[in-house]
Structure formats: structure tokens, C-alpha cells
């Protein structure tokens, strides 16, 4: 079996070829984006991140519907963590809290 790093490099190259094609062809981009979801993590501030980190992890459909949401609680120095599913009531409060937030990707300094 091929080295995992080589497989990752090959897959990245393939994905980048597809992304560049989508940038040139709006119809291709629309078709491709129908199959893309988003996974992201919201990390909370902690005074001692070496001792405790906690966050909310979400996976969405291409149109932004949340499929899964978990709360993650981690004690890094002990290599321990727990994932707790977020219920609908909690999710509603989280969505309300973040309703004014907007993610805009920017690579400038």
C-alpha cells in the first residue's frame, strides 16, 4: 500500500485541479458545490489552554443545515477528552448566538 503522505499529496493535487476547473466554469462549480458540506470548530477562550480546551464542532450540508453538532471538552496534558452531542434546544441557542457572525475567507496580512 502507498505511503499515506503520498496518497494525501496525490488527493490534494486532484482536489486542486477540480477547484481550479470550478473557478473557470461556473456550471461545474455549481454542480460540485452541491456535494460539499462544511466542518468547523468554534474554540472557546480558556486562561490555561494547556490544561483545558473546549469547543463546539459542527458539520453542515452545502446549504448550511447543521447535520451534527458536538461539544468537545479536553484536558490536553492528560490526553483525555469527551464529546457530548448537542441537542436541538442547545443548538437553537448556539445558532441564535452566532446569527450575526459571518465567515469570510481572506489570505491578506
Cα Rg of the chain, angstroms: 18
Domain ranges of the chain: 1-34, 37-104
Cα distance between the two ends of the chain: 41
**72 compared with 61, residue with greater pLDDT:** 72
* Per-residue CA distances from 90 to 2, 43, 48, 109 (Å): 43, 16, 26, 36
- Grid cell digits, residue 63: 446549504
55 close to 41: Cβ distance less than 8 angstroms: yes
Over residues 72-99, the pLDDT tens digits come to: 999 999 999 999 999 999 999 999 999 9
Q: Rounded to an integer, what is the distance from CA 58 to the centroid of its chain? A: 7
- Grid cell digits, residue 94: 448556539
Model confidence at 2, pLDDT cuts 50, 70, 90, reads low
Q: Is the pLDDT of residue 24 over 70?
A: yes
Q: Rounded to an integer, what is the distance from CA 97 to the centroid of its chain? A: 18
Q: Is the pLDDT of residue 26 over 60?
A: yes
Query: What's the pTM?
Result: 0.71
Amino acid at each position: 500500500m502507498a505511503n499515506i503522505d503520498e496518497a494525501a499529496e496525490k488527493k490534494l493535487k486532484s482536489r486542486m485541479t477540480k477547484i481550479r476547473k470550478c473557478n473557470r466554469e461556473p456550471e461545474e462549480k455549481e454542480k460540485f458545490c452541491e456535494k460539499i458540506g462544511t466542518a468547523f470548530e468554534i474554540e472557546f477562550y480558556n486562561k490555561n489552554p494547556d490544561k483545558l480546551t473546549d469547543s463546539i464542532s459542527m458539520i453542515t450540508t452545502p446549504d448550511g443545515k447543521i447535520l451534527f453538532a458536538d461539544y468537545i471538552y479536553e484536558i490536553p496534558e492528560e490526553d483525555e477528552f469527551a464529546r457530548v452531542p448537542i441537542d436541538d434546544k442547545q443548538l437553537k441557542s448556539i445558532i441564535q448566538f452566532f446569527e450575526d457572525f459571518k465567515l469570510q475567507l481572506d489570505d491578506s496580512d
